[in-house]
């Protein structure tokens, strides 16, 4: 999406009861071209553009038949999958409720729950060829703790992908820059033919998030 033609910046007065950080968040939302575009395009999240941009670069959604969306809420990524691969079966999971999306099976459940992987596999009625993870743990404001918590989710997502994907399948996950990334890369490189990092333009420059894109699953040994 073009960032040109930006409307003039909107400032938000610090209202009673609103903290400085929530004022900054609101200001950023109001001035964010992706938020405006998402409203215009009918996407539930600005995150939808991250997947669209990743797909443009890596052709992730080309020919996919079964897709798992980890951390589905509010549903932007699944909306994108529906649009680009309308015939694909999609199963999503989130701790938070997600408004229904036609053609998508949604579990309101913790992915770290022991029963979650089987529930997803059963609902898909076959092996996925794409596992997406946009999961992020709630931040506590301590950089290293936040990093470790989100990387724990990513690692669980990676193992789920390795244990369920069809040969040649793909795994895409949001990662946070810092400490444990090297271990994840080693694991993925062992099981996928190509492993790349990307920061789609829709990902805010100031955030430490990146996406890891692993393609060409070598199959379960």
Q: Which positions touch ligand SAM (CB under 6 A)?
A: 44-45, 47-48, 71, 73-77, 93-96, 110-112, 134-137, 153
Q: Which is nearer to ligand SAM, 69 or 129 (CB)?
A: 69
159 annotated among ligand-binding-site residues? no
First to last CA, the chain: 41
Cis amide linkage into residue 74, ω under 30° from 0: yes
Residue 128 zone, left/alpha/beta (φ > 0; ψ -120 to 50; rest): beta
Q: Which residue has the tokens 């694991």?
A: 187
Cα distance between residue 212 and residue 132, in whole Å: 10
17 annotated among ligand-binding-site residues? no
94 annotated among ligand-binding-site residues? yes
Catalytic residue among 174, 196, 199, 218: 174
DSSP 118-139: HHHHHHHTS--SEEEE---PPP
7 annotated among ligand-binding-site residues? no
Q: Which distant-in-sequence residues (6+ apart) come within 8 Å of 111 by Cβ?
A: 70, 71, 93, 135, 153, 156, 157, 160
Q: Which is nearer to ligand SAM, 101 or 214 (CB)?
A: 101
Is 39 an annotated catalytic residue? no
* Dihedral sign, Cα of residue 169, residue 174, residue 176, residue 180: negative
Residue 121 zone, left/alpha/beta (φ > 0; ψ -120 to 50; rest): alpha
Q: Which is nearer to ligand SAM, 135 or 195 (CB)?
A: 135
75 annotated among ligand-binding-site residues? yes
- Shortest Cβ 174–ligand SAM spacing (Å): 7
Q: Which is nearer to ligand SAM, 74 or 169 (CB)?
A: 74
Task: Give me the active site residues, please.
Answer: 174
- Which amino acids are annotated as binding site for S-adenosyl-L-methionine, given as ranges? 75, 77, 94, 110, 134
Instruction: Summarize the annotated binding site as residue ranges.
Output: 75, 77, 94, 110, 134
């Amino acid at each position: 999406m073009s960032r040109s033609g930006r409307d003039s910046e909107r400032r938000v007065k610090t209202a009673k009861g609103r903290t400085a950080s929530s004022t900054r968040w609101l200001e950023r939302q109001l001035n964010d071209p992706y938020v405006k575009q998402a409203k215009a395009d009918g996407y539930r999240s600005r995150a939808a553009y991250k997947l669209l941009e990743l797909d443009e670069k890596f052709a992730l959604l080309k020919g996919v038949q079964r897709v798992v969306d980890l951390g589905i809420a509010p549903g932007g990524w699944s909306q994108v999958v529906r649009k680009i691969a309308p015939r694909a079966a999609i199963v999503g999971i989130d701790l938070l409720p997600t408004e229904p999306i036609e053609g998508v099976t949604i579990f309101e459940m913790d992915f770290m729950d022991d029963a979650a992987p089987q529930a997803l596999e059963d609902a898909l009625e076959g092996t996925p060829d794409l596992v997406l993870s946009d999961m992020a743990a709630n931040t506590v404001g301590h950089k290293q703790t936040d990093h470790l918590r989100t990387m724990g989710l990513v690692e669980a997502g990676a193992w789920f992908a390795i244990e369920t994907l069809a040969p040649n399948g793909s795994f895409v996950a949001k990662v946070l820059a810092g400490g444990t990334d090297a271990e994840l890369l080693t694991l993925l490189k062992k099981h996928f033919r190509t492993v790349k990092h990307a920061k789609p333009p829709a990902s805010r420059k100031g955030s430490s998030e990146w996406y890891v894109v692993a393609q060409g699953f070598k199959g379960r040994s």
